Amino acid sequence: MAIVLGANQYGKAEIRLLRVSRGTPPTSPAPYTAGQHDITDLNVSITLTGDMAAAHLTGDNAAVLTTDAQKNTVFAFAGEHGVGQIEDFGLLLARHFVDTHPTVSRARVSITQYPWDRIGATGHSFARSGGEVRTATVTCDGTGTYEGTGTYEGTGAWAVSGLEDLTVLNSAGSEFWGFVKDRYTTLPETTDRILATAVSARWRHASADAGASAKHWGESYAEARRLLLEAFADTYSYSLQQTLYEMGRRVLAARPEIAEMRLALPNKHHYAVDLSGFGVDSDNEVFYASDRPYGLIEGTVTRDDAPPPGLAW
Amino acid sequence: MAIVLGANQYGKAEIRLLRVSRGTPPTSPAPYTAGQHDITDLNVSITLTGDMAAAHLTGDNAAVLTTDAQKNTVFAFAGEHGVGQIEDFGLLLARHFVDTHPTVSRARVSITQYPWDRIGATGHSFARSGGEVRTATVTCDGTGTYEGTGTYEGTGAWAVSGLEDLTVLNSAGSEFWGFVKDRYTTLPETTDRILATAVSARWRHASADAGASAKHWGESYAEARRLLLEAFADTYSYSLQQTLYEMGRRVLAARPEIAEMRLALPNKHHYAVDLSGFGVDSDNEVFYASDRPYGLIEGTVTRDDAPPPGLAW
Amino acid sequence: MAIVLGANQYGKAEIRLLRVSRGTPPTSPAPYTAGQHDITDLNVSITLTGDMAAAHLTGDNAAVLTTDAQKNTVFAFAGEHGVGQIEDFGLLLARHFVDTHPTVSRARVSITQYPWDRIGATGHSFARSGGEVRTATVTCDGTGTYEGTGTYEGTGAWAVSGLEDLTVLNSAGSEFWGFVKDRYTTLPETTDRILATAVSARWRHASADAGASAKHWGESYAEARRLLLEAFADTYSYSLQQTLYEMGRRVLAARPEIAEMRLALPNKHHYAVDLSGFGVDSDNEVFYASDRPYGLIEGTVTRDDAPPPGLAW
Amino acid sequence: MAIVLGANQYGKAEIRLLRVSRGTPPTSPAPYTAGQHDITDLNVSITLTGDMAAAHLTGDNAAVLTTDAQKNTVFAFAGEHGVGQIEDFGLLLARHFVDTHPTVSRARVSITQYPWDRIGATGHSFARSGGEVRTATVTCDGTGTYEGTGTYEGTGAWAVSGLEDLTVLNSAGSEFWGFVKDRYTTLPETTDRILATAVSARWRHASADAGASAKHWGESYAEARRLLLEAFADTYSYSLQQTLYEMGRRVLAARPEIAEMRLALPNKHHYAVDLSGFGVDSDNEVFYASDRPYGLIEGTVTRDDAPPPGLAW
């Protein structure tokens, strides 16, 4: 028997980056009227995998690209190339790490994008919008061909897009009954309940070119988000599982570039409060929103001919 | 010398309440098309003050209304009266506690409202919107006259409205220079910086009737919010203090029902990253968003003839 | 009627500082055996008040000491003077700001200290201990006399010490009955309940010299903490209010340097689960720990001859 | 092509449970002296996997054990059997779900235990201790044999123990140099830095009987925790990777019942502040504790003859 090093990875997490793209340059002297700006607000995390045994076993760092340099790379690439769609930015970064560092055999870049809306008439004023964030996780293993034009051939790159914390609620159209009754089951069956969740969804693209072939990642994201909301609202639900499946199905049915959906839906319980003891006649109108415990429903919806996931997840 | 009880208060905090108002009742059997619903999603906290010395000194609870009963009251009132505007709901509750419990000399009700948008075409589907929340804190001391018609005469009721976590950013139109230079000052002066903050604002109404006299609390809130955003976007800023003052001034100038604004603006620092060492020519385009430490600017903007604040804050 | 600037303040918040004090210097070359180290881990926030009207009204920053310089001052003072007790470090800083900046009429320094325990035998290895943190808030208005020897004469300095998040629980010795019964009261009376809270306490020293006269702030803190725990454990409680009062009383009775205690005690409810329906005979042994809502009990215990609080709070 | 349901699971998350074990029963009438109590404070999450296709595809819940019943089961088992070691409690629960519900093919129970220390002399007073928590994740697939005596034969049960948020710091004995220098590398090499992390560790037991054979899970946990701390403190470190490996190695070398360790160590960066510009001579004594971004080092240390992990993770 020997004790050995197993799987390992490392990187810089939570690099908070704001990229400003300026239109017409400001005239001087101040105060000036700036041109229209665009902003991209990101949280970027890098994970590198490779032959790092020496660092673990003897503290020899000859194969280690510092996490500080990883951070600098993110800032430099944002300056040099801009950010654009987060899937593209992630692929650019991941490809860089595997291509330029022989000791790195796999690079994964996870990005969270915070959405902003324009406010006012200045062209450079913004307010954070929505509770949800857009996410992307891309992985490169250094194989395959990259033409520098957004085209990834072969199997060396994978892209997963997603969103987090999209909180939704149906105040009608949800039932829950017909479940198993064991000796610990006391929940009453109901034909009218609140159904609420905070959607966490990730979807794997059929290829890292998929977004590009669907014109752009942005459209793919916007449509997936729209379809998720639509499916949640439209589905008359007999269980959160049913709603989950329909949300995934709806996206896959409409978006050929997406091969697989993974959803995690916490059941944000709302319990009807019985007010009859207080002389108040309230029929399912007043609810207590409970924090913990909560149900958690997780599931995958996929195509039966989806390409193998490789290193996507 | 003796040891004595000083100021004290108690109550139930963070009562999470969802109120559903149903329009046309659903037809049966399921699946049905429900009528249009409205939802109100609240976090309610109660604070009572009165002669509670016995509870503290001897554990005699004869004057103590349990915090559990306070919670029940919130649910029961939501069922019986509906919620409507949170200022009204708070006043109804606060008035109840001081009017029906002789040992309670002051009741304060603080409410946070989470905003939701409609989604889909069902009339009963919603998504949480925005990062910000609407707030109200109302206080009653049991004096004054309440007609039960939304009219509070005299001095026995106070209303403060507000919002939290309204995150905004200007990517131009902000300078910072001309400040004190002491031996510890190393910050360079700048004529072009990112100005970002998460607005926390509370505004005191001239009277607890003020909202009503401005037609309704909802309009007052929507306009105050709009004016805050507009002032943030429009103000060419030489300091966050200047922006703060203008935000308060703008609201007071346009809304006669509001007597005083209190603002707390954390300076969400974005530091330009110097990319010249990486051969990247980036002029104030790439920023690192820092978490801590942060500047915190707090200030009050008021009318010089504002009525005394009484117990409002 | 005119719109005017009211009370205002500003400063740098959450300056995260680790101060290492080294004993015997390390010998070279590495690997060396370092001498014994001590560490002080702080979160420092500065608030300055003064005549800052110009910054608000016109963006003229001539009176503004940048929050960046405030941060630098904290680091520089930690290097030059060390930190020692947080009350002393705060007084040194607050005094500096009011003494060296004519536009600053009041400086408040709030410090949170994270506790660490030693681990291992190296003398330089530590593990974070406890859930609670130690706090101090000191205020100087520039009057009074400071000899530079830890002595503050006159009224120009105030010191408040405290702790946060000291979570405690009694599984016996707590009853709750005899309370008001109104139409919304459904809580059963009990002679045996769980009493749990997360203690938030702040205590005002009779003078900013008080800690020094009690030998040192550290002893004063350690004793106050010990007495709070002892009072919580010892008090047979008929209400959380009674426990609160006894906690404050116990500290004041034993520590003459402390003039006033302010306590905020959330009632961390633990509800007994009725297992009889499952054929399980459990007499108050299984509890559900609820997050929200929760009772919140706040109170002050003071001496009837306490000096006036001035700017302490 | 068809759209199909993939992997899925569901369950109740974050069941907050306090179990009180009473020694000598209290005498009446109150106030009484209770016997010595022990408390166990848990956060339990259940995940069930099985044939739940109908629930997803048609909303037919005939195979669904409600998450509410899962919660009830946790409370009932805590009452009937007590909790004891969390690995045992988890195995009891997981075994129950797979044994009594034919539609459940795999049950996983994840438990977080919050540690408490005794305070005072009452025998029933406690204070929360430490920042860290103890964890266990156990999985049963319904195969294998369980004698009801803590013995699991065969392959049907797996146990992973662990801890989270054990925050540690070395103020000496850490270097970092000899790393890759690419064009984005600006980090200076250092022979004296702060090394700080919040240890997240999970370790897989060679068998679900392993804890029992090492006398009890509690001893196994206490020793693993002790060895992790000892290794962190003792290791003269040239990289956090080296410290990680040594932490895992030390545990495996001393604890035969443990087959594999997985560690995740965020590098809690402390940057030395250069005070020379302020005329302060400080040699690595004042540090700024940064929140984000941070390095994240993850690695596995294992035996080369470890049994296959099965469903453990």
* Gap from C60 CA to chain D (nearest CA, Å): 26
All residues of chain B having their beta carbon less than 8 Å from the beta carbon of residue A236 are 30-31
pLDDT the model gives residue D1: 82
Contacts of B179 in chain C (CB under 8 A): 61-62, 64-66
Which of D18, D233, D290 has the CB atom closest to C287's CB atom?
D18
What is the rounded distance in angstroms from the CA atom of residue B131 to the CA atom of residue B265?
16
Residue C112 CB: number of other CB atoms within 10 A? Answer: 20
Closest by CA position to A180, among listed D8, C273, D100: D100
Q: Is B120 left (phi over 0), alpha (psi -120 to 50) or beta?
A: left
In this prediction, residues B107-114 reach a mean pLDDT of 98
B178 with C58: Cβ contact below 8 A: no
Residues 6+ apart with CB under 8 A from A200: A162, A163, A164, A165, A263, A264, A265
Identify the CA nearest to B76 among candidates C197, C257, A278, C178: A278
Per-residue pLDDT, averaged over C283-307, amounts to 96
Query: D110 — alpha (psi -120 to 50), left (phi > 0) or beta?
Result: beta
Is 60 exceeded by the pLDDT of residue A147? no
- What whole-number distance in Å separates Cα of residue B148 and Cα of residue C113? 51
Number of residues that this document lists for chain B: 313
| Contact across the interface for A295 and D2, Cβ inside 8 Å | no
CA distance D198 to A278: 50
Q: H or E element: which one contains B117?
A: strand B116-118
Task: Report the residue of chain B nearest C103, measured CA to CA.
Answer: B180
* Mean pLDDT score of chain B: 92
Contacts of D66 in chain A (CB under 8 A): 179-180, 185, 187
How many A×D Cβ pairs under 8 Å?
264
Does A142 or C102 have the greater pLDDT score?
A: C102
Distances (CA, A) of D42 to C128, C287, D91, D150, D164: 21, 10, 15, 20, 14
The token duo for D172 is 């000496």
Provide the annotated active-site residues of B. Answer: 12, 67, 269
Which helix (H) or strand (E) segment is B16 a member of? strand B15-22
pLDDT of residue D28: 47
What are the pLDDT digits (tens) for B284-304?
Answer: 899 999 999 999 999 999 999
- Which pLDDT value is given to residue A212? 61
Helices (H), chain B: 53-57, 67-81, 86-100, 210-213, 217-234, 240-254
DSSP at C189: P
Q: What is the pLDDT of residue B309?
A: 95
| Close Cβ partners of A179 (under 8 Å, ≥ 6 residues apart) | A185, A187, A189, D61, D62, D64, D65, D66
Distance CA B301, CA B246 (A): 9
**What is the residue-averaged pLDDT of chain A?**
92
Single-letter amino acid code for the residue at C30: A
Interval C16-29: pLDDT, tens = 999 999 876 555 44
pLDDT score for A72: 98
- Mapped onto helix, strand or coil, the DSSP state of residue C172 is coil
Q: Which residue has the tokens 């443990």?
A: D258
B249 vs C contacts (CB less than 8 Å)? 3
DSSP A277: G
Residue D162 has a pLDDT of 98
Give pLDDT tens digits for A246-255. Answer: 999 999 999 9
What's the rounded mean pLDDT across residues B254-279?
97
Report the interhelical angle of B86-100 vs B217-234 (nearest 10°).
Answer: 130
CB D270 within 8 A of CB D290: yes
The size of the B-C interface in CB pairs under 8 A is 264
Distance of CA C182 to the CA centre of its chain: 37
* Binding partners of A (≥3 Cβ pairs within 8 A): B, C, D
> Do A14 and D290 form a contact (C-beta atoms < 8 A)?
no
Interface of C with A (CB under 8 A): 183-184, 186, 277-279, 291-292
Query: Using one digit for the tens of pLDDT, what is the confidence trace for A43-68?
Result: 999 999 999 999 999 999 999 999 99
Q: What are the chain C neighbours of B15 within 8 Å (beta carbons)?
A: 292-293
CA separation for the pair A153, D310 (Å, rounded): 35
Model confidence at B210, pLDDT cuts 50, 70, 90, reads low
Q: Assess contact for A302 and A267: CB atoms under 8 A.
A: no
Query: Which band of pLDDT confidence, cut at 50, 70 and 90, is reported for residue B130?
Result: confident
What's the pLDDT at D29?
47
**Crossing angle for the helix pair A217-234 and A240-254, nearest 10 degrees?**
140
Q: Would you call C27 a catalytic residue per the annotation? A: no
C39-88 pLDDT tens trace = 999 999 999 999 999 999 999 999 999 999 999 999 999 999 999 999 99
Q: Contact C68/B238, CB-based, under 8 Å?
A: no
Helices (H), chain C: 53-57, 67-81, 86-100, 210-213, 217-234, 240-254
CB contact under 8 A, C39 and D80: no
Minimal CA–CA distance to C4: which of B255, B249, B200? B249
**Over residues C176-180, mean pLDDT:** 98
Would you state the pLDDT for residue D35? 76
Minimal CA separation from D253 to chain C, in Å: 18
Q: Judge whether residue A29 has pLDDT over 50.
A: no
In this complex, which chains have at least 3 CB pairs below 8 Å with chain D?
A, B, C
Q: With an 8 Å Cβ cutoff, are D59 and A237 in contact?
A: yes
Asked if D180's CB is within 8 angstroms of A62's CB, the reply is yes
D43: left (phi over 0), alpha (psi -120 to 50) or beta: beta
Q: By the 8 A CB rule, do C301 and B4 touch?
A: yes
Rounded Cα–Cα distance for residues B267 and B228 (Å): 16
Are C120 and D280 an interchain contact pair (Cβ–Cβ within 8 Å)?
Answer: no
Mean pLDDT of all residues in A288-298? 98
Q: What are phi and psi of C192, to 5 degrees?
A: -155, 100
- Decide if B183 and D278 are in contact by the 8 Å CB cutoff: yes
Least confident of A105-119, A154-168, B29-43: B29-43
pLDDT exceeds cutoff 90 at A25: no
Mutate to test the interface with A, among C269, C286, C292 (most CBs of A within 10 A): C292
Task: Give yes or no for a contact between A112 and A164, defined as CB atoms under 8 angstroms apart.
Answer: yes
Q: What is the pLDDT of residues C91-131, one digit of tens each?
A: 999 999 999 999 999 999 999 999 999 999 889 999 999 78
Are D67 and D48 in contact by the 8 Å Cβ rule? The answer is: no
pLDDT for the residue C257: 94
Annotated active-site residue C67? The verdict is yes
Tokens, residue B184: 């510890």
Query: In this structure, what DSSP letter does residue C218 have?
Result: H
Distance CA A8, CA D297 (A): 8
What pLDDT does residue B30 have? Answer: 47
Q: Does B13 contact C296 at a Cβ distance shorter than 8 Å?
A: yes
Chain mean position to CA A49: 22
Q: Name the token pair of B5.
A: 């009880």
DSSP 3-state of C271: strand
- Residue A243 DSSP SS3: helix
Query: Which positions of chain D have pLDDT values less than 70?
Result: 24-34, 145-155, 210-215
Over residues B129-154, the mean pLDDT reads 79
The mean pLDDT value for A281-300 works out to 95
DSSP H stretches of helix in chain A: 53-57, 67-81, 86-100, 210-213, 217-234, 240-254
Say which DSSP state B278 is in: G
Buried b (16+ CB within 10 A) or exposed e, D143-173: eeebeeebebeeebbbbbbbbbebbbbbbbb
Distance from chain centroid for Cα C76: 24
Determine the pLDDT at residue B23.
Answer: 77
To 10 degrees, the CA torsion angle through D109, D114, D118, D120? -130
pLDDT value, residue D146: 60
Between B28 and C208, residue with greater pLDDT: C208
Q: Is C194 left (phi over 0), alpha (psi -120 to 50) or beta?
A: beta
pLDDT of residue B283: 78
DSSP state of C190: B
Residue with tokens 């703008």: B250
Mean pLDDT of chain C: 92
Sign of CA dihedral C160, C165, C168, C169: positive
For chain D, the residue count is: 313
Cβ distance A20 to B192 less than 8 Å, yes or no, reads: no
- Residue D131 has what pLDDT? 82
- Nearest CB neighbour to A186, from listed C184, C186, C277: C277
Of C15, C65, C187, the CB nearest to B180: C65
| B270 strand-pairing partners | B289
The CA distance from D194 to D287, in Å, is 9
pLDDT band at A30 (very low <50, low <70, confident <90, very high): very low
Contact residues for A176 (Cβ-Cβ < 8 A; gap 6+): A189, A190, A193, A238, A239, D61
- Whether the pLDDT of residue B270 is over 60: the answer is yes
Instruction: Give pTM, 2 decimals.
Output: 0.95
